[in-house]
Each structure stands twice: as structure tokens, then as C-alpha cells.
Amino acid sequence: MTALIQTIQTPDGPLTILADDSQRVLASGWSDDQSAIVARVHPALRPAHVGEGETDAAGAALAYYAGDLRAIDSVRVLQRGTAMQAAGWEALRRIEPGRPLSYSEFALELGSPQAVRAAASICARNAPALFVPCHRVLRSDGSLGGFAWGLPVKQSLLARERGEL
């Protein structure tokens, strides 16, 4: 498989997007370290060749930052994981901007109210950040919890989705 990689500038820093030859996002994150983005892709999906180029998802990300919070919803993604992870990644895409869930609520959404750690793991293993908005899941006390790209980015994304930025 070949893939395109593109880095765009956002208010939260450089956002690098890796997409396959069908323009499905394999991984993305707030870093200009392309190897770090490629490393987040499941080994079975990791491209043999990566070249710089324009991705369809970059336009959606820029629209998101310009205020169209729904622009990321139609971006196609591709991840590989267990059935529960796949269901979790789909569920993350249904979380409304500005209406984050707690990890407990997210586990309930998955039909496994006791699986709070599994819910957190689904977020941690999410490769196409922003397009599968794992930043919309918080700790039960409302604190941020973790985020692969740093808590300041997560905080900024949530503030943007609350209409504060």
C-alpha cells in the first residue's frame, strides 16, 4: 500500500495526516514528526511507501478549525483492531461536538458499563485523531484524562467545540 502524508498548520500546532491511496485517514496527530504518525498505524495497515502530497482530510481539518465542527464527520478513516475497538471508534464519531462523554458514559455507550478501562484503551489506540474524536471523552470528574497529542491540544479542541475559541 502507498500513502500520502501532509502537514498543515493549525492553531494547535502542526497537524500531520496520513491517508491511503483511497484517501482514508490511517493516522493523524499534532506533530510534524511524520515517522511518529506512521508508527501509530496498525502494522497490517502500515504503508510500504509514504510520499508527501495533498490529502482530502486536510481541507476538512482546516474547515473544522475555521468553525465548521462537522467538517470532520464525513472524512473516511481506516483502522484495524478488535470488534470492540472498531465499535468504539464508530461510537466516538457519534459524540456531538461540545457534548463530551466520561469514560464511564462511553463504556455504557459500548454496551459494557463495567469496561471503563477498555473504553480508555480504545481512545488511546485511536490512530486518526481529530477525525475519530477521542478528545471528546473525559474522566468522570470532568478532568481531561489523557491524550496522545498532549493535554493542551485536547483542552483547546474541547474549548473550540464549546464555542470558546
Q: Burial level of 81, CB count in 10 A (0-12/13-18/19+)?
A: middle
In sequence order, the 6+-apart residues with CB closer than 8 A to the CB of 66 are: none
User: What is the residue type of 164?
Assistant: E
What are the Cα distances from residue 108, in Å, to 99, 101, 115, 136? 16, 10, 8, 15
Sign of CA dihedral 22, 26, 32, 35: negative
Catalytic residue among 92, 116, 123, 134: 134
Helices (H) and strands (E) counted in the chain, each on its own, are: 6, 6
Check: CB of residue 146 under 8 Å from CB of residue 1.
no
123 given a catalytic annotation:
no
Q: For residue 9, what is the DSSP state? A: E
| Separation CA 105–CA 96 (nearest Å) | 13
Catalytic residues: 134
